[in-house]
Chain A
């Protein structure tokens, strides 16, 4: 912290071109505390991907029932300064419409043809769930799903259905309780399927060998951050006191399910089911596995997991780009 910003008047000459040079070696040291700067940089880097996903306007999940009816679940970011929001539905034959606003508040809505007029009144994120009967048609034994989607979406096909044609490239495909779930990109999609008792699912459920570039990027980024931090720490040559790792064997002993429910008596019944499932899976499970088990849309499960995290029942860690949900071992002390 020895060098200070040198006032420009102290410069002996400004040069022929009149360019002003200021010594900037000490700016960081003088104006900003370096540890804060480093921490801020790491936080910025960590938050950037989160920010980009948060900015995405919609989250859309569809489930096709065997009779062709479809359950739609979508999440929309709306302007909190609007009283109403007009949502274009995917058709006009709608049942069981529920609109949920911030704080899981049931919002009033009215359907006029294929538009839902929703009274948002300050909500910034709304979740809409409804059943629609306009997306699937049937000719002979052939079922056709068609949708022009404004965003990427997931589509869970009925059990024993076999895809025999499609017009859109799938982004991903998973098997959930013997049902194919496709992730599809926005735009026009048509999918033809038959019902067949000899559905060939084995070919799809083969072990996936993924080339996951994002994992490499994350690992690379972490390595860069670690190396840079080591260089920085060494360059400062400061005496760093070793950090004590307070780990007691007591804390690492997982709580039994009754104790968890005793500690958190106000947990919702559906959340308790989640906790029980995680507990029975050695205390940790992937969020995607929770979705598979409970057949919940991404957004609904995400909210549930976040709720449990807020309650201090679980913690969320990243594992292979997925959310690993773990029961907290030291819930008693942290809650």
Chain B
């Protein structure tokens, strides 16, 4: 019996400490990665400096580079000594120095072009097609799951053909803008079709959700019925619950949602918070 108890305790202790072991192991996952990144950055900076200044590197940059390079060497040393904390500091110091150098280099370019990626004109058409394809695949995966209209009409096949055509146009330097617009229109139409075909399933899910919620609220109101809370508020809450149930039975989901918003305010005043049970 004692052995059994000992076993149980051992298992529990192990079970309790294992999550913390996971976290520690995760944080220290291959510290050599830091050195690899720092060495890569160091070499890139040397390349950039060679291209930009050849042998006439400004003193300010030289100082920064030496600082960064020394930090990389120190990082190597710290890792050899298994001093992870020092290694982290060395890494950040090195990468910070290289970051400053790269920013100085890019600022001192003869023609500084600051590109705002958010402006549509600066986006790459090929990348835009890649993104549309990824978006389409996500929609297709949902569509297949629910066997909806877009799926049965073969609209995804049409969209993939368009993507193929656009890629050919890009590679042969033709203007793909017409096909891109067509693709966008088609993708939006697919999404619209998906929403339409899912509407019935969705209304069932929403109804189930509301019924579950309303049942719980109902129970909570019953529980506080005899307390000192203003009875008119409780009556109003009950009226709204009835109204929601009626709206749900008529499939008027949006109206039910509006009434639920009003109910939530009253519940808050009464002091009822609906949470996961």
Contact = CB atoms under 8 A, between A and B. Distances in A.
B12 to A, nearest CB: 7
Interface in A119-170: 121-122, 129, 131, 133-134, 136-142, 162-167, 169-170
Interface residues of A, number: 91
Nearest to A162: B44
B11 A42 contact: yes
Given A71-B131, A131-B131, A231-B7, A28 B1 contact: yes
Contacts of A133: 117-118, 123
B198 A106 contact: yes
A80 B43 contact: no
List 5 tightest A-B contacts by C-beta distance, closest first.
A165-B99, A122-B209, A214-B25, A67-B124, A140-B106
A142 B96 CA distance: 15
Given A173-B36, A208-B30, A217-B25, 8 more contacts: A49-B19, A53-B22, A100-B142, A122-B208, A140-B113, A164-B48, A209-B32, A217-B17
B247 interface: no
B41 interface: yes
Contacts of A194: 44, 48, 102
A112 B36 CA distance: 42
A213 B25 contact: yes
Contacts of A162: 40-41, 44
Given A171-B26, A232-B7, A137 B107 contact: no
A81 B156 CA distance: 35
B103 A142 contact: yes
Contact of B123 (A67, A190, A210): A67
A66 B99 contact: no
B40 A200 contact: yes
Interface string B126-148: 01101110110111011011100
Contacts of B134: 71, 96
A192 B96 CA distance: 10
Interface string A256-293: 00000000000011100000000000000000000000
Contacts of A108: 195
A28 B33 contact: no
Contacts, number: 268
Interface string B11-30: 11011111101101111111
A65 B141 CA distance: 22
B69 to A, nearest CB: 13
Given A29-B1, A140-B109, A164-B98, A83 B257 contact: yes
A198 B44 CA distance: 9
Interface string A162-185: 111111011111000000000000
> DSSP class of A's interface residues: helix, strand, loop or mixed?
mixed
B9 to A, nearest CB: 9
Given A67-B124, A81-B213, A167-B95, A44 B15 contact: yes
Interface of B: 1, 3-8, 10-12, 14-19, 21-22, 24-30, 32-34, 36-37, 39-41, 43-45, 47-48, 88, 91-92, 95-96, 98-103, 105-107, 109, 112-118, 122-124, 127-128, 130-132, 134-135, 137-139, 141-142, 144-146, 194-195, 198, 201-202, 205-206, 208-209, 212-213, 216, 257, 260, 274-276
B102 A142 contact: yes
Interface stretch (A5-13, A221-229, A240-248): A221-229
Interface string A48-85: 11001100000000000111110100000001110100
Nearest to A166: B95
A301 to B, nearest CB: 12
Contacts of A98: 135, 138-139, 142
A93 B118 contact: yes
Interface stretch (A14-22, A33-41, A311-319, A322-330): A33-41
A196 interface: yes
A169 B91 contact: yes
B107 A139 contact: yes
A78 to B, nearest CB: 11
Nearest to A106: B142
A117 B116 CA distance: 26
Nearest to B260: A83
B96 A167 contact: yes
Contacts of B41: 162-165
Contact of A210 (B14, B30, B128, B144): B30
B131 A105 contact: no
Contacts of B135: 95-96, 98, 129, 131
